[in-house]
Amino acid sequence: MNALSLFKTRALASPQDGDGDAASPRCAPAWRAPLVMLALGLAACLLLPDQLGLLTRIFIMGLFVLSLDLVVGIAGLATLGHAAMFGVGAYAAGVFALRVMPDPLVGLAVGVLAGAVLAAATGAFLLRYQGFTFLMLTVAVAQMVLSLAHKARDWTGGDDGLSGYVMGPLLGQFQFDLEGRLAAFYALAVLVVCFYAARRLVDSPFGMAVRGIHENRARMAALGTPVYRRLWGMYAAAGALAGAAGALSAQTTAVVGLDSLSFSLSAEALVMLILGGAGRLSGALVGAAVFLVLHHTAASINPYHWLFVVGGLLMLVVLVSPAKAVAWLRNRRGGRA
Amino acid sequence: MITFSNILIDGLAYGMVLFVIAVGLSVTLGLMRFVNLSHGAFAMVGGYCVALLTRELQWSFWIAVPLAVLATGLLGALLEALVLRHLYQRKELDQVLFTIGLTFVLIASTNALVGPQVQMVQLPPSLSGSVDLGFRTLPAQRLLVIGVGLAVAVLAALTVTRTRFGIWLRAAVDHAGTASTLGIPIRRVQCLTFAAGAAMAGLGGVLGAEVMPLEPYYALKYLVLVLVVVAVGGMGSIAGSLCAAIVLGLIETASKYLASDWGSLFFFAAMALFLAWRPNGLLKR
Amino acid sequence: MSHLLELRHLDKRFGGIHVTRDVSFQLAPGDRLALIGPNGAGKTTLVNQISGVFPADSGEIWLRGENVSRLSQAQRVRAGLARTFQITTLAPHFPVQRQIELALFEREGLGGCFWRGIDSFPALQAEARALLARFGLQGQAATPTQDLAYGEQRLIEMALAMALRPQVLLLDEPMAGVPKGDGERLLAALDVLPRDLAVLIIEHDMDLVFRFASRILVLAEGAVLADGTPDEIRRDPLVRAAYLGHGEATRHA
């Protein structure tokens, strides 16, 4: 996970001042990338009106993978149980819409809260461990949540899934239409807002401390950082965003299945993150988009042949990471000039 | 009481299957610190070989199994020597992702070659019946599985503690750099160990074909169970893997018999508790 | 309590090895204590126990009148203790200035602030740049720490410890592996440490020790062999025996 681009250490003005000082490293403004995302998303929605379902899924998965990037790319904690927060957010939003009220934004808040609470509760236990042990424990926790969801059939619908709820109008005004236009804009808006929030979080002293913990835990402890507490905070924040993604999924598809808590969802999200590049936040969105578009085209041919594509891509990305490829390309161009 | 003995026998057999598949991964993880998530594919290959040899070529079960085990071992050796050894220095996450990608490709290849249907392993008549042990009659297949599991455990333990190869292996696990300066052929140790682990996994795939049906997604579906055994038992610990596999196998079987609508909750809860109590493995401190 | 740091009967075993035997000493403000001894004497282990990397088996550590024996590493840092590592421990991809800013944020209690950007603290950024300038590293502000020369990385180690404005500073072989030339900047940094700071330095370079230290503590096989001024130590027969016996005289970095 290459962090070289993390701080966008472009010098602000000229490369060197007169007295030989290097310019200070500066972060890009937090609104820039989300704005680009918004523009691209809107363009896609307007140019591809019959792919709105796919686009909505891309936005939602993009948000989920973004939340995963906070844990894996920023905090450096490899997890295979992140779907638990997604699923909990989805079921919370679905049950809320079914039994309490169908307002989308309130339901979204409920999903965010559910994801955050689960992450905070499980993180308190999980973050005492590191490495392979931590990884396996995240799997265990997620599988236990899945088993509990399966058992609580009365609430979750079990194998049949949770359905039968209809979302109310957004902001009291805009009805969810059958073509999925509102759903797409809604998901995009939530994604952009959450992306901005994540960007602010990562570029704050807290975010920088977490990145420091990722790169060298011993150094951070020697600086007085309460390591466990910081990681816990980041894990809970990631849980909140994952819960938001889950809630969006529940609200835009009007159904929640047990697959939203599955191990394969966690693994797929990890694959998407790596494809796009971890640690940069924008990579999460790129990876989700690439993966889902590929899946959409390849899987319609034969579900197994899709595995050839993604498997081969994964092996390729590991052997030749995109960051290295870009650096190599840059060197080639620089050498020629 | 009948249920209790069923749970005991089935659980023990299931645990033995998990052990036989997991032991190779545990040693590889402990020896090379290499996270090989394509290990499940070896179990799948072994099972598929036997299924195909007995069904398509009408070979005897007792010939097909050793051949399948050998073939899987060979596949493992080739994979290690040609591809995987280049990843030993990479970060854990890179290894995880590469081997997941490899698993995807193997799953897709299996489907392309043989199709997506479940492969049944035809047991010979001698294994289909029961064996009278005097105090109880037990299914022959279960007895075989338990026997093989114990044999593998004993064999592995003896190899590690009594043979020269075992000394090489332990030295290499402790400190590969120093071991190689002492003249120990590290590459050979690594490749052979990996191949042996793959072969064992193949054997496990055959033995467990009844509880873990052979189909292309096998490689990924049961990977989690194998990883759990390795994690709880402790990387590199053969005895630990055996203990973990038996205990977890019994718990999972018991919960299937007694509390089936709770799914695998107890399995994973037990796993989490064991890991939290002994993060480095059941038998290590 | 006028002592900044006090060790009382610190004891530690690793399995069968007795690495710290009943070690006691005090540090007052302004002390410059050099901890010397043969390899394997347990110097770094002692510093690890003082800074809280792992706990002692028995004994107490008092920092500024407070018993910190049960506190975590991070808590001891916040109580006024800082250390450098013998093996350079830096976040490899962080630009140098950001690494310093990290220390400053923690010192100011801002490490938990998640709503303001790291670029919106001009006073702290200025302080980071000033600290870099003091070590002659202002030209490397945007360089990732892993791209620095080894000697410069050792400087960052010290800069980070000093950024925390501690009352007690533990330096674990700051000159280790630094070529003679680069060592000049490190030595200069040592000379300008605050007057009332108590410093404990582990070093093998005897020239540096006798030039810098006001007191010397000799550790051998985990126990305190001698504790006194440089002159007293030079003349102490026990010390000479320990060093001559181990064939260990001076070691230049």
**Count of H-run helices and E-run strands, chain B:** 13, 2
Please give the single-letter amino acid code of residue B143.
L
Q: What residues in A contact C89, CB-CB < 8 Å?
A: 216, 218-219, 222
Average pLDDT, chain A: 87
Q: Which chains touch C (3 or more CB pairs under 8 A)?
A: A
Residue C72 to residue A328: CA distance in whole angstroms: 44
pLDDT at A334: 59
Chain A contact for C107 (CB, 8 A cutoff): yes
Q: Tell me: the pLDDT tens digits for C172-231?
A: 998 888 877 677 788 888 888 888 899 999 988 888 888 888 999 998 888 888 888 888
CA distance to A107, A173, A176, per residue, from A168 (Å): 10, 9, 8
Chain A contact for C141 (CB, 8 A cutoff): yes
* Residue % of chain A over a pLDDT of 90: 63
Mutation for C interface: A7, A21, A24, A26, most C CBs within 10 A: A24
Q: Tell me: the pLDDT tens digits for A185-244?
A: 999 999 999 999 999 999 999 999 999 999 999 999 999 999 999 999 999 999 999 999
Of C117, C139, C165, the residue at which a domain comes to its end is C165
- Quick one: CA torsion of B222, B226, B232, B237, rounded to 10 degrees? 180
Q: How confident is the model at residue A299 (pLDDT cuts 50, 70, 90)?
A: confident
pLDDT at C191: 84
Q: Where are any strands of DSSP class E within chain B?
A: 130-132, 137-139
Query: Which of A311, A218, A296, A328 lies closest to A52 in space, CA to CA?
Result: A296
DSSP A95-137: HHHHHT---HHHHHHHHHHHHHHHHHHHHHHHTT--HHHHHHH
C-facing residues of A in 184-243 (CB < 8 A) are 200-201, 203-209, 211-212, 215-216, 218-227, 229-230, 233
Chain C contact for A31 (CB, 8 A cutoff): no
Residue C49 lies in a domain: yes
Q: How confident is the model at residue A178 (pLDDT cuts 50, 70, 90)?
A: confident
Helix (H) or strand (E) holding A67: helix A52-69
Whether residue A14 has pLDDT greater than 70: no
DSSP C88-155: ----TTSBHHHHHHHHHHHHTT-TT--SS-GGG-HHHHHHHHHHHHHTT-GGGTTSBGGGS-HHHHHH
Q: CB–CB of A9 and C119 under 8 A?
A: no
Mean pLDDT of B11-22: 94
Please give the single-letter amino acid code of residue B154.
V
Burial A10-43 (b: 16+ CB within 10 A, else e): eeeeeeeeeeeebbbbbbeebeebbeebbeebee
Residue A159 lies in a domain: yes
Q: Are residues C103 and C150 in the same domain?
A: yes
> Which residue of A129, A274, A304 is in closest CB contact with B111?
A304
Residue A59 lies in a domain: yes
Residue B138 lies in a domain: yes
Residue C85 lies in a domain: no
Helix (H) or strand (E) holding C75: helix C73-78
Helix (H) or strand (E) holding A211: helix A205-215
Q: How confident is the model at residue C243 (pLDDT cuts 50, 70, 90)?
A: low
pLDDT at C47: 93
Contacts for B154 with CB less than 8 Å, ≥ 6 apart: none
Q: Are residues C170 and C75 in the same domain?
A: yes
With beta carbons less than 8 A apart as the criterion, state whether B94 and A315 touch. no
Q: CB–CB of A310 and B268 under 8 A?
A: no
- Judged by DSSP in three states, C200 sits in strand
Mean pLDDT of A44-70: 95
Q: How confident is the model at residue A323 (pLDDT cuts 50, 70, 90)?
A: low
Min CA distance, B162 vs chain A (Å)?
A: 30
With beta carbons less than 8 A apart as the criterion, state whether A34 and A197 touch. no
Mean pLDDT of A26-33: 86
Q: CB–CB of C119 and A227 under 8 A?
A: no
Min CA distance, A294 vs chain C (Å)?
A: 33
Asked if the ipTM is above 0.90, the reply is no
User: C230 is in which domain, residue-wise?
Assistant: 1-80+166-253
The structure tokens 């300008």 sit at: C192
pLDDT at A7: 43
> Which residue of C101, C103, C118 is in closest CB contact with A203?
C118
Q: CB–CB of C73 and A215 under 8 A?
A: no
Residue A121 lies in a domain: yes
Q: CB–CB of A200 and C106 under 8 A?
A: no
User: A131 is in which domain, residue-wise?
Assistant: 30-262
Q: How confident is the model at residue B1 (pLDDT cuts 50, 70, 90)?
A: low
Whether residue B237 has pLDDT greater than 70: yes
Chain A contact for B98 (CB, 8 A cutoff): yes
A-facing residues of B in 214-253 (CB < 8 A) are 216, 220, 224, 227-228, 231, 235
Whether residue B179 has pLDDT greater than 70: yes
Chain C contact for A69 (CB, 8 A cutoff): no
CA A125 from centroid of its chain's CA atoms: 22
- Return the number of CB contacts < 8 Å for A and C: 139
- CB-neighbour burial class of residue A173 (10 A; exposed 0-12, middle 13-18, buried 19+): exposed
CATH of the domain at C33: 3.40.50.300
Whether residue A17 has pLDDT greater than 50: no
DSSP B161-177: HHSHHHHHHHHHHH-HH
CA distance to B93, B100, C89, per residue, from A2 (Å): 13, 21, 19
Q: How confident is the model at residue A61 (pLDDT cuts 50, 70, 90)?
A: very high
Q: CB–CB of B101 and A315 under 8 A?
A: yes
Distance separating the N- and C-terminal Cα atoms of chain C: 37
Min CA distance, A233 vs chain B (Å)?
A: 21
The residue in chain A having the minimum alpha-carbon distance to the alpha carbon of residue C102 is A209
CA distance to A70, A102, A201, A240, A245, per residue, from A112 (Å): 15, 16, 16, 5, 8
Of C165, C189, C213, the residue at which a domain comes to its end is C165
Residue C35 pairs with which residues in a beta bridge? C202, C217
Dihedral sign for Cα atoms in the order A301, A306, A309, A312: negative
Least confident segment among A10-19, A68-77, B38-47, C45-54 = A10-19
Whether residue A77 has pLDDT greater than 90: yes
Q: How confident is the model at residue A36 (pLDDT cuts 50, 70, 90)?
A: very high
Number of domains in chain B: 1
Residue A193 lies in a domain: yes
Mean pLDDT of A25-53: 90
Residue B45 lies in a domain: yes
Residue A264 to residue A285: CA distance in whole angstroms: 19
Q: Which chains touch B (3 or more CB pairs under 8 A)?
A: A
> What proportions of chain C, in percent to the nearest 5, are helix, strand and coil?
40, 25, 35
Mean pLDDT of A4-19: 37
Whether residue A319 has pLDDT greater than 60: yes
CB count within 10 Å of CB A152 equals 12
Q: What residues in C contact A3, CB-CB < 8 Å?
A: 93-94
The structure tokens 């509990």 sit at: A148
Mean pLDDT of B258-282: 90
Q: Tell me: the pLDDT tens digits for C95-129?
A: 999 999 999 999 999 988 998 999 999 999 999 99
Q: Tell me: the pLDDT tens digits for B73-115?
A: 999 999 999 888 888 888 877 888 899 899 999 999 998 888 8
Mean pLDDT of B36-58: 91
Number of domains in chain A: 1
User: B66 is in which domain, residue-wise?
Assistant: 18-217
pLDDT at C48: 93
Average pLDDT, chain C: 87
Whether residue A67 has pLDDT greater than 90: yes
Q: Tell me: the pLDDT tens digits for B136-160?
A: 778 888 888 999 999 999 998 888 8
Residue C220 to residue C9: CA distance in whole angstroms: 16
Least confident segment among B224-228, B279-283, C145-149 = B279-283
Angle, CA of B160, B166 and B169, to the nearest 5°: 110
Please give the single-letter amino acid code of residue C133.
A
Whether residue A20 has pLDDT greater than 70: no
Q: CB–CB of B268 and A313 under 8 A?
A: no
The whole model's pTM is what?
0.89
pLDDT at C186: 81
**Count of H-run helices and E-run strands, chain A:** 14, 2
With beta carbons less than 8 A apart as the criterion, state whether A253 and A176 touch. no
pLDDT at C204: 84
Q: What is the DSSP letter of B261?
A: G
Which token pair is B130?
A: 């029961």
pLDDT at A322: 62
Whether residue B35 has pLDDT greater than 70: yes
Mean pLDDT of B187-192: 88
Residue B100 lies in a domain: yes
Whether residue A5 has pLDDT greater than 80: no
Query: Which of A297, A292, A250 lies closest to A272 in space, CA to CA?
Result: A292
pLDDT at C244: 55
Q: Tell me: the pLDDT tens digits for A246-292?
A: 999 999 999 999 999 998 899 899 989 988 889 999 999 999 999 99
Residue A174 lies in a domain: yes
Residue A5 lies in a domain: no
pLDDT at B285: 60
Q: Tell me: the pLDDT tens digits for A78-129?
A: 999 999 999 999 999 999 999 999 999 999 999 999 999 999 999 999 999 9
Q: CB–CB of A211 and C94 under 8 A?
A: yes
Number of domains in chain C: 2
pLDDT at B236: 82
With beta carbons less than 8 A apart as the criterion, state whether C211 and C17 touch. no
Whether residue C248 has pLDDT greater than 70: no
Min CA distance, A14 vs chain B (Å)?
A: 37
Q: B187 — phi, psi (to 5°)?
A: -60, -45
> What proportions of chain B, in percent to the nearest 5, are helix, strand and coil?
75, 5, 20
Q: How confident is the model at residue C82 (pLDDT cuts 50, 70, 90)?
A: very high
Residue B147 to residue C251: CA distance in whole angstroms: 62
Residue A265 to residue A274: CA distance in whole angstroms: 14
Min CA distance, B279 vs chain A (Å)?
A: 6
pLDDT at B269: 94
C-facing residues of A in 7-26 (CB < 8 A) are 7, 9, 11, 20-26
Q: What residues in A contact C104, CB-CB < 8 Å?
A: none
Q: CB–CB of A208 and C105 under 8 A?
A: yes
Q: Are residues C106 and C123 in the same domain?
A: yes
- Quick one: CA torsion of B155, B160, B162, B166, rounded to 10 degrees? 130
Residue B57 to residue C39: CA distance in whole angstroms: 69
- Taken as a whole, chain A contains a residue count of 337
Q: B268 — phi, psi (to 5°)?
A: -75, -30
- Report CA Rg, chain B: 19
